[in-house]
Structure 1
Amino acid sequence: MLNNKITELLKVEYPIIQAPMAGGVTTSKFVVEVSNSGCLGMIGAGYMTPIQIREQIKEIKQSTSNPFGINLFVPNAFKVTENEVKSANHILNPLRHQLNLQPKDSFEIPNFNDVLETFIEQIKVVSEEKVPICSFTFGIPSKEVIAELKRSNIILMGTATTVREAVENEKAGMDIVVVQGSEAGGHRGSFIDGDQESLVGLMSLIPQVVDNVRIPVVATGGIMDGRGLMASICLGAKGVQMGTAFLTCIESGAHKVYKEAILSANEDQTVLTRSFSGKWARGIKNEFILEMQNYETLLPDFPVQNTLTQDIRKTSSAQNNQDFMSLWSGQSPRLAKSITVESLIKSLITEAKKINSYI
């Protein structure tokens, strides 16, 4: 059961993908450790410049000959007015005051064409460096982008939160679809269906997607151990993608305070918020989320809100203050452990094989 289409396509020993967590978690050392342990290490490159991406790819290639992958954010069109930005800053300034930051009024509004141009440059680097696997979140790239990557023989993975989104990924030419249940930590990968409609639980989502696509399905959302891996496979998935479980590993680049927050959290402490970035995401409830919950519908869309809160998040992190950090986490934090990547994977496989012997 653990050797299937996914292990064959990705050329890995186990059908386990380390989720591509953007924002500094997926350091080269971390990705290499995952890939060297028989799973697929992934670079979370959504916020990285093309130069940073090229540097990290080269670093990883120097440390492992095993496959690894990269994840990019598909740009979505956004509209924002100066008044909306001023209003958001007015809401955020009292929180800046708590961190001894200067209040802000104005803000240089990002241009969608610039965001799109950066994405095209990111794609160019991935293609030139021939990264074995490339995954996408927040949508499906253009036919031209898909064709360019396929010419470089790169395996493509899309993200879906509903059956409809999974079907569109298959139609577009993705080789694998990652289905994200509502339990998942971090940003929702939805791009067609509404925010509420996209909150399908993983155990409901897997078999429905499997019945409607021919490409291999990878499950993600709240999976932390061998039980989650085997449950997903029993429902028809060919593999799993795990974020929170890897995030608290010793080699992960996540901030110490962030890891501690997950390791001490309970399942009822994760909530969905769009206050940090302008996109709905699941994280551990803290003071920032509580202070902002009454304003969520008034805030600008991603990436504008994400840029507006950057100074708050960075300063909070520098001060080892979890109150204003984005503590993304899935719904199973009680199962998180502070262990090495190698120990986590050994534990996963041992448990999965034990369960398999009973089936």
Structure 2
Amino acid sequence: MPSGLLDRLGMSQPLVLAPMSGSSTPALVSAVSRAGGLGSHGVGYLAPQAILDDAAKIRALTDRPFALNLFVLPDEFDEDEAAIDQARASLDALMEREGLAVRTTRPERWAPRFSDQFAALCEARPAVASFTFNLLTPEQMHELRRRDIAIVGNATSLAEVRAWATLGPDAISLQGAEAGGHRGTFLHEPEDAMVGLFALIRLAARAVDIPLIAGGGIMDGRGMAAAEMLGASVAQLGTAFLGCPESAAAAAWKQDIPATEDTRVATIRSFSGRAARGRRNTYVDALEAQAGRLPPYPVMNALTSPLRKAAAAAGRGDLVSEWCGQAAGLARIMPAAELVAILLEEYAQARESLA
């Protein structure tokens, strides 16, 4: 195991908690960090003050290093009024049909300004900052480096790996096609960058001399060891932790995860306006056919927010965005600390077997 990367990221174990925006919590992040891994908190949906508040909560729970993750987005977004009207009509009709007593609203902003979020992240000074959806500017890289914040960029293809490599991050996080949640693709159409994790690791390891974090479909210690054997320095797991009591995933969603069939995991645009991997459910069956006519992220994501909140409160997992990776059926429902202990035991046994 390349000790340099673990030391740089403040880890003693080769395990990263995927930064699951909307599902990660300070309790989940701190549990993984306390166990020697790197807890990552997805803060892409949060306002700047909420980012600072959550960073303080994590520090109150652990003195171990942690990561904050942001979506790299423009500060302002185009508004297609016809697409917005169509989306609102379709969503309102679905909610009425499914018996949910809420309707869409138009928020003051579709999403927080990235520049404000980035400033808050710099003020919070996590040990590690990771970024998805696009590259940082050289100026932003400089701002992080002068605060001694380790930088991790997300890539879904070899071209994206090389693009991040030119900026000199501390590590590159590889998002294989098997990964759950939003696709981080930024140089291609998402369907053109559905590269399997094991292929992506080998391609990236040959192309760049930068430590690699492997994510996508890894649910146990054997998968962690396999990723390492192929050239990754660290394994990143997200879906494996969704069912933990510390996760903010809706209760009904947590119940659905272990029962997810491999053929029911699909690439979905209709929840947020951006390609994401998750479980086909009632919502997806009703709205996905319209995905091409719906507004892009983050507009669609904001419009579906009332429905997702109401569905979660009503125990309707089939109407929330049940993001999950390809191997969701391998999920184990238990507290995060127990899961980390099992994962590391499995990892050690797998390495011993290989030796």
Task: Give the TM-score of the pair, scaled to structure 2.
Answer: 0.95
Residue 189 of structure 1: aligned partner: 184
Structure 1: which amino acid aligns with 2:281?
N
Letter paired with 2:43: A
Offset at residue 240 of structure 1 (A): 1.1
Deviation at 1:173? 2.6
Mapped to 1, the partners of 2:19 and 2:71 lie a distance apart of 11
Deviation at 1:241, TM superposition (A): 0.9
State how 1:1-359 maps to structure 2 within 5 Å.
1=1, 4-23=3-22, 25-76=23-74, 78-97=77-96, 98-101=98-101, 103-104=103-104, 107=106, 110=109, 115=112, 118-359=113-354
Deviation at 1:252, TM superposition (A): 1.9
Deviations 1:327-356 (A, max 9, x none): 000010121001122222222222222221
1:226–1:351 Cα contact (<8 Å) kept: yes
Deviation readout 1:111-167 (Å, 9 max, x if unpaired): 7xx85xx22222222222221100001011222211111110000001000010011
Q: Tell whether the 8 Å contact from 2:18 to 2:40 is kept in structure 1 after alignment.
A: yes
Shift of 1:301: 0.6
- Distance, in Å, in 1 between the alignment partners of 2:102 and 2:353 is 60
- 2:100–2:311 CA contact under 8 A, matched in 1: no
1-side partners of 2:102 and 2:202: how far apart?
51
CA contact (8 A) 1:20 1:42 kept: yes
Describe the shift of the 1:102–1:350 C-alpha distance in structure 2 as closer, same or farther (beyond 3 A). Answer: closer
TM-score calculated relative to the size of structure 1: 0.94
- Greater shift in the superposed pair: 274-283 or 88-97: 88-97
Identity of aligned residues (%): 35
1:259-317 Cα shifts (integer Å, max 9, x gaps): 10102222122111100000000111110000012111111110011011111111101
Partners of 1:19 and 1:241 within 8 A in 2: yes
SS in 2 for 1:17: strand
Query: Is the alpha carbon distance of 1:79 and 1:120 closer, same or farther for their aligned partners in structure 2, counting shifts above 3 Å?
Result: closer
Q: Secondary structure at the match of 1:90?
A: helix
Distance (Å, rounded) in 2 between the aligned partners of 1:201 and 1:249: 26
Q: Is the 8 A contact 2:102 2:310 kept in 1?
A: no
Structure 2: 5+ residue stretches without partners:
none
Distance 2:174 2:346 in 1: 23
